[in-house]
Chains A and B, each alone.
Chain A
């Protein structure tokens, strides 16, 4: 989708605040911890991302980073029926449940290590492209969630790596656990940005096979 999140190549955002730390506010740390540890059964990482992409574009552009996460965590739990809209707006649960036990640092460390999710999958068909192949990305965006940024659509590049099958983000946002061949594709900066680009500079993206024109 052409959402507010697709920022690559957009102008006007000004200089980078190069000394900005990871956190400035206590609530930012709190939201990070909540995102790490409040269970959300089911769901996929790309459905989670697609939630943020479907925020009101004005809100996306203006609310702080961790408030986007916060709204998304809340919205997904409302979507799943775990929280009601009324509860979230009130900031309290209408029904108390037995408290969760506190978990030790060792338990959290083990959980973190176990969180190195493997997205690769065995494929029953061969890759269409090999390393060195010329590819061109599709011009038209996927109607739903897509990880092909607008700036890299309709562009010619070269495959520099093949990673086998990886769960396909577009399908994941629909709740489907389906893999496609994944490649790293290198594009010249001139192909993406025109003549002003520095010769020799490149941009590499990880792209699934359905993102390429087949003709």
Chain B
């Protein structure tokens, strides 16, 4: 039974950080060894999770969803109405997506997603978050200096474009829908998905390039 006592959990944290070996690899190994020895998980199961998040569960999922929305107006409407439901067409629901909210970039609005309090992210549609998304630099500055952060990503906004930052403070998660670039008329969903980047779905990229990166 959890104590739900902040002092208790804080004391345990201090004890562990003080007394465990400092090497991160050894700390993670301690948790793995304990979990395996206590029959909570098999090492092979951990291997499988690592493989799944290395290969299959990544930003290609989000790109597929947005490419479909670009070519199917009905699906676009469903995505904007309830993205958490719309992604179930693909079976992409999972970790942190039930209350997924799609936000659309427009010629005069740019959306940027952050979690200043921890590192909330729609993992099941975008895969593991980039290290910078979880960094103190991004978390501290995205809300206060979004244009400075965007400039570091090479994004300069035209005059008149407003920035709307979404700080993920509850269990809603945000997915930026980038604008479909000119010159992609008639493209297949697969070709469109190939040019939609992870950063464009977080909001740290704005103008998609026509060649896949």
Residues of A at under 8 Å CB distance from B? 1, 5-11, 13-27, 29-34, 36-39, 42-43, 45, 47, 49-52, 54-56, 59, 61, 63-67, 70-83, 85, 87-89, 91-93, 95-105, 108-109, 112-120, 144-145, 147-149, 151-152, 163, 166-167, 169, 173-175, 182, 184, 186, 189, 192-193, 198, 200-208
Is B25 among interface residues, defined by CB-CB distance under 8 A?
yes
CB distance from B57 to the nearest CB of A (A): 7
A21 with B24: in contact, given A6-B117, A10-B140 (CB under 8 Å)?
A: no
Q: Is the CB of B124 within 8 A of A112?
A: yes
Query: A27-B28, A43-B2 given. 20 additional CB < 8 A pairs?
Result: A13-B136, A16-B152, A21-B131, A24-B131, A26-B25, A30-B50, A54-B13, A67-B24, A67-B28, A70-B31, A83-B38, A93-B37, A104-B48, A113-B91, A118-B98, A147-B117, A166-B99, A174-B4, A203-B143, A208-B170
23 residue pairs bridging A and B, Cβ less than 8 Å apart: A5-B117, A5-B118, A8-B117, A9-B116, A10-B136, A10-B140, A22-B127, A30-B32, A33-B46, A38-B40, A56-B10, A75-B12, A79-B3, A80-B1, A85-B19, A91-B20, A102-B45, A103-B44, A108-B48, A108-B52, A169-B170, A203-B165, A204-B165
Residues A74 and B1 in contact, CB atoms below 8 Å apart: no
| Interface: B182 (CB within 8 A) | no
Known: A34-B46, A193-B144, A200-B162. A27 touches B25 (CB 8 A): yes
Task: Give the distance in Å from the alpha carbon of A33 to the alpha carbon of B108 in the complex.
Answer: 40
Out of A76, A89, A204, name the residue touching B2 (CB < 8 Å).
A76
Enumerate chain B residues within 8 angstroms of A203, measured Cβ to Cβ: 143, 164-165, 167
Q: Which residues of B contact A182 (CB under 8 A)?
A: 170
For the complex formed, measure the closest distance between the CB of A188 and the CB atoms of chain B, giving whole angstroms.
10
Q: How far is the CB of A208 from chain B (nearest CB, A)?
A: 7
- A71: B residues at CB distance < 8 A: 13, 16-17, 20, 27
Q: Which of B4, B7, B114 has the most CB of A within 10 A?
A: B4
Residues of chain A with a CB closer than 8 A to B119's CB: 65
B interface residues with partner A (beta carbon < 8 Å): 1-4, 6-10, 12-17, 19-21, 24-42, 44-54, 57, 84, 91, 93-99, 114, 116-119, 124, 127-132, 134-141, 143-144, 146-147, 149, 152-154, 162-172, 204
